[in-house]
Amino acid sequence: MWPEKDLDYVKLKDDDEGTHFGLFEGEALISAVSLFVHGPEAQFRKFATLTSHQNQGYGSRLLFHILGEAEQAGVKRIYCNARSGKVSFYERFGLIPTASTFTKGGKDYIVMERFFG
């Protein structure tokens, strides 16, 4: 997601509180996402797929998996900070845009959410 930045740019102080998922093709990491569950709510962050492997279903498979993980954990609401150009991708998984938006690193984001049960 940020290939032009140093690794420290994507590290967060609470990374150790999340569960980190990766989808591999052989030994190569193709797609990754981190899930942070806090009681009835969860956020997924750092969701990225290698540019060379985008639009091939890797990210979709990984997102479908973590949505199931969140639901099994009893989460009632899951949300993410979606890049504005990716809203339609997340809508396919039942996430809906909220009124909350922001800009980070020159990219525009919108908070999207989905409710379970």
CATH of the domain at 57: 3.40.630.30
Looking at the domain assignment, is residue 1 inside a domain?
Answer: no
Can you say how many angstroms the Cα of residue 69 is from the centroid of all Cα atoms in its chain? 13
Quick one: average pLDDT of 58-70? 95
Domain range for 49 is 7-115
Quick one: average pLDDT of 55-79? 95
Looking at the domain assignment, is residue 66 inside a domain?
Answer: yes
Q: What is the pTM of this model?
A: 0.86
Looking at the domain assignment, is residue 26 inside a domain?
Answer: yes
What pLDDT sits at residue 32?
93
Looking at the domain assignment, is residue 44 inside a domain?
Answer: yes
Domain count, the chain: 1
Q: Give the model confidence (pLDDT) of 73-104 as tens digits.
A: 999 999 999 999 999 999 999 999 999 999 99
CB 110 within 8 A of CB 87: yes
In one-letter notation, the amino acid at residue 50 is: L
